Amino acid sequence: KDVQKEREPHVYLSKEEVKEKIQSYNSSVTDKLKMTLNANGVYTGFIKVQMELCRPITVQSSQSQGRCAPSNAETAFYLPDGCVNTLHISSTNTVREVIEALLKKFFVADNPAKFALYKRCHKEDQVYTCKLSDREHPLYLRLVAGPKTEMLSFVLREHETGEVMWEAFSIPELQNFLRILDKEENDQLQILKNRYAAYRGKLEEALRGVLKPG
């Protein structure tokens, strides 16, 4: 169930409260992805982000990571659904910074403004998905919720179609999208043609059996 962002006040914790929560968090961790509290009060840790992208992403090849790289060194493709990535971040990192870091980690050339980070949580036997604002801090949410992803998980999605900043896409990206859509359309048409050809063959075979003399 997707819902509008809930207005949740950010509770400012004292250094001692943060220390206690981190100790409790680390005692419950089962995958060794623990949090660390630094002397300045900033803490670091890990979050896992599930990729739920419906549109193709543009990825730079290893030769195109310089500023003067040609545009044809970029490739657009669909990311497998359900792919999960792990990021090491700090408590000061915002949602927007997490999105940028995630895209940079995998050499995604798309504008970060095309994407949004969501939180998925369980409440009253239902699963809710809420879009996070750019200024929220994912590691704080992870600390408060605890390490169990069943209680809280993060999801990267594109903005809804009505929210898409199409001007953020380059002409080569848009052309790649059109080529991919054309290919998908042709593939789906061929699948339908093959399906109905198989039905027709079975019907014709059945008719021949019925009309066969004797």
Residue 93 reports pLDDT greater than 70: yes
Question: CA-to-CA distance for 35 and 46, rounded, in angstroms?
Answer: 7
Strands (E), the chain: 2-3, 36-37, 43-51, 57-60, 74-77, 84-90, 115-123, 126-131, 152-158
Strands 152-158 and 43-51: parallel
128-139 per-position pLDDT tens digit? 888 898 889 999
Q: Which of 57-61, 64-68, 83-87, 177-181 has the lowest mean pLDDT?
A: 64-68
Q: How far is CA 24 from the centre of its chain?
A: 29
Identify the residue with better confidence: 153 or 161: 153
Question: CA-to-CA distance for 39 and 133, rounded, in angstroms?
Answer: 28
Residue whose token pair is 């982000």: 49
Burial class (CB in 10 A: 0-12, 13-18, 19+), 43: buried
Q: Region 132-153: what's the mean pLDDT? A: 91
The pLDDT value recorded for residue 167 is: 67
The pLDDT value recorded for residue 69 is: 45
41-75 per-position pLDDT tens digit? 999 999 999 988 887 787 876 544 444 444 456 67
The pLDDT value recorded for residue 169 is: 66
Instruction: Please report the DSSP string for 116-162 in residue order.
Output: EEEEEEEETTEEEEEEPPTT--HHHHHHHH-S-TTTEEEEEEEPPGG
Burial class (CB in 10 A: 0-12, 13-18, 19+), 117: buried
